[in-house]
Chain A
Amino acid sequence: MVNAVNPQDIEFGLDTFVYASVDGSGRAVDGDVVIRNTIEEAVLADTVGIDSFNIAEHYRPEMMDSAGHVMLAAIAGRTERIRLGTAVTVLSTQDPVRVYTNFATLDAVSNGRAQLIVGRGSLTESFPLFGFDLADYEELFEEKLDLLTRLLRDQPVTWSGTFRPPLTNQYLSPPLPEGHVPTWVGVGGSPQSVIRAARYGLPLMLAVIGGPARRFAPLVDLYKRALVAYGHAPLPIGMHSHGFVARTDEEAVAIQWPYWAEVFEGAAAERGWARPTMERFQAEIADGSLYLGSPETVANKIAAVIRQLGLSRFDWAYATGRVPHEQRMATIELYGREVIPRVRALLAEPSPEPAFSSAPATANLGAASVQQ
């Protein structure tokens, strides 16, 4: 049995948090340089055949991704093909009107290549920063998703809610072609969020940042059943995970480990998590959420998860932490030139075992994503 999604139609994206990196000698690189380096990384991604480049949103000293859309516009000017998106836009603390104007403009600048993943965000520093109350976490996201989908789907919009002034017969410029900007809902494992994505008829993006992806299989099932319950046609399902690729497994481990450990040391101190160990790192590589190693190792693992969950999109957060720009470039090059073709080839072969589930073939993710 072959994967239900045509391997050529699967979207292979790159995600980045725009980590403040070090240079080859371990010295911190200035934030403005990090931003320009990231633009070079995206340009390379376009050259080597990667389908999309997606920037996260944080407000933290170690990440330079606070205004990703500005970077995406610069990337748009230097590329022709690659889709440009977010991973994720913390919609709870943004004004959907502003999200619309930014991304409709990006869509025009890029000739129709803008896309979005919206989520509640797992780090919540944007709440106090923009004056929102974490206690309104659920309500904020619900209301803002409602307004954003309305703005994307059918203007003029007349709308009222709790967290921003009402809109009456509002048109926003620039207008968007039908089905633009494809908007996915990012979820981290909460069943309520899965149901919400289905309720709005939006495609689902699973963020798997620890443990094996198979634990998300029940959520995939939940999503499909909820789409049916809400009367929507089947929609694509994607997944986001971290990783790093080098010539050999050993080299990939040697490069990524110290930076990965540093990130999780920080999280352990700040969030009360268990401290990172080499054992855990290896376990994440062997049977968890890290897609790390040689091109062959990484391709095998990606092909397996795409089959297992019936995915239409795989977003790879390349290089975790302060990995130097040169090594990020090398990993992007290998990913585009070796990993992706290998995954497509693997998926074209008959499956060794029946797929857990099958997603519909979606020739045009854009049109499927934002339905009327």
Chain B
Amino acid sequence: MSSSSPTDRRLGIVGAGKMGTTVARAAMSAGYDVAVSGSGPPERIALIVDVLAPGARAVTTDEVVGSAGIIVLAVPMHRFRELPRDIFAGNILVDAMNYWEDIDGVDKELATAPLGTSVVVQQRFSSARVVKSLNHLGYYDFEESRRPAGLAGRIAIAAAGDDRAAVAAVLQLIDRLGFDAVDAGRLEAGLALQPDGPVFGVRHAAGELSELLWAEASSA
């Protein structure tokens, strides 16, 4: 495990699917050193990583965790419990997962989580510093929308978490990946970022995104 400083440009990604490779590509173009893992041995995802995120390294999940202070978790929600409880100890863990009954099947705990699914993820990985983020845009919206700071039409991504230093690090990551970053508040505010929430799946500029989240928070 390593810590994350403002000059640290290392990112770990667990999950080499649609979302994981999209984030990997964005991070590579932002100058990060990127390590990616799937559920199997690295050989199984080597070609995928090589073609879809050239320059990123295909490694084991243990190696991903050791490679960076910030880890993006982008596996299907019904599979996150396969990962050992303490594997992310001390890491900033960006929970990019969404619970979809269509994909994940019926999961009572996730379907009814009153404070959002990221709170469940935090309970599972209690020694990690969980931040909910990178989940509320589809992967191709993410891909097509990222652009350098200051460019017109830049859209925003929000982050929610209880560990404020972790949130700050993720806000910086979001900016470097090509989006304006919005602090959504505590981890349970991540509820507003989920499917069915007021901001999910739509491209918003930072101002609109903050307003929608603020409106949601004050009506809750």
Residues of A within 8 A of B (CB): 122-124, 127, 133-135, 137, 189-192, 195, 210-212, 215, 218, 221-222, 225-226, 229, 271-274
Contact B102 A189 (CB under 8 A): no
B144 CB contact (under 8 Å) in A137, A192, A211, A225:
A211
Question: Which residues of B in the span 150-206 have a Cβ within 8 Å of any Cβ on A?
Answer: 194-197, 200-202
Q: A134-B103, A192-B48 are in contact. List 15 more A-B contacts (CB 8 A).
A: A124-B103, A134-B104, A192-B16, A192-B17, A195-B48, A210-B140, A211-B144, A212-B140, A212-B144, A222-B48, A225-B51, A272-B100, A272-B194, A273-B195, A274-B200
Q: Which residues of A contact B195 (CB under 8 A)?
A: 271-273
B113 contacts the other chain (Cβ, under 8 Å)?
no
A281 to B116, CA, bound (A): 31
Contact A273 B105 (CB under 8 A): no
Q: Which residues of B contact A273 (CB under 8 A)?
A: 195, 201
Q: Which residues of A contact B141 (CB under 8 A)?
A: 211
Q: Closest Cβ of chain B: how far from A293's Cβ, in Å?
A: 22
Contact-residue bracket for chain B: 20 to 34
Q: Which residues of A contact B202 (CB under 8 A)?
A: 274
Q: Which residues of A contact B85 (CB under 8 A)?
A: none
A-B CB contact pairs (8 Å), 30 listed: A124-B103, A133-B105, A134-B78, A134-B103, A134-B104, A189-B139, A189-B140, A190-B17, A191-B16, A191-B21, A191-B48, A192-B16, A192-B17, A192-B48, A195-B47, A211-B141, A212-B144, A215-B143, A218-B51, A218-B52, A221-B51, A222-B47, A222-B48, A222-B52, A226-B47, A272-B100, A272-B196, A272-B197, A274-B201, A274-B202
Contact A135 B47 (CB under 8 A): no
A221 to B53, CA, bound (A): 12
Question: Which residues of B in the span 79-127 have a Cβ within 8 Å of any Cβ on A?
Answer: 100, 102-105
**B21, B48, B143, B195 pick with most chain A CB within 10 angstroms:** B48
Chain B residue at minimal CB-CB distance from A133: B105
Contact A222 B51 (CB under 8 A): yes
Mostly, the A contact residues are helix
Q: Which residues of A contact B144 (CB under 8 A)?
A: 211-212, 215
- Ranked 5 nearest A-B pairs via Cβ: A272-B195, A134-B105, A274-B201, A272-B196, A222-B51
Contact B201 A229 (CB under 8 A): no
Chain B residue at minimal CB-CB distance from A224: B51
Q: Which residues of A contact B17 (CB under 8 A)?
A: 190-192
A46 to B61, CA, bound (A): 52
Q: Closest Cβ of chain B: how far from A84's Cβ, in Å?
A: 29
Contacts A124-B102, A215-B144, A273-B201 given; does A189 touch B48 at CB 8 Å: no
A226 to B49, CA, bound (A): 12
Contacts A123-B102, A124-B103, A215-B140 given; does A272 touch B48 at CB 8 Å: no
Question: Which residues of B in the span 27-62 have a Cβ within 8 Å of any Cβ on A?
Answer: 38, 47-48, 51-52
Q: Closest Cβ of chain B: how far from A40's Cβ, in Å?
A: 33
Contact B200 A272 (CB under 8 A): yes
B100 CB contact (under 8 Å) in A133, A192, A226, A271:
A271
Chain B residue at minimal CB-CB distance from A194: B48
Q: Closest Cβ of chain B: how far from A104's Cβ, in Å?
A: 32
Contacts A215-B144, A271-B100 given; does A135 touch B105 at CB 8 Å: yes
B18 CB contact (under 8 Å) in A190, A225, A229, A274:
A190
A49 to B123, CA, bound (A): 60
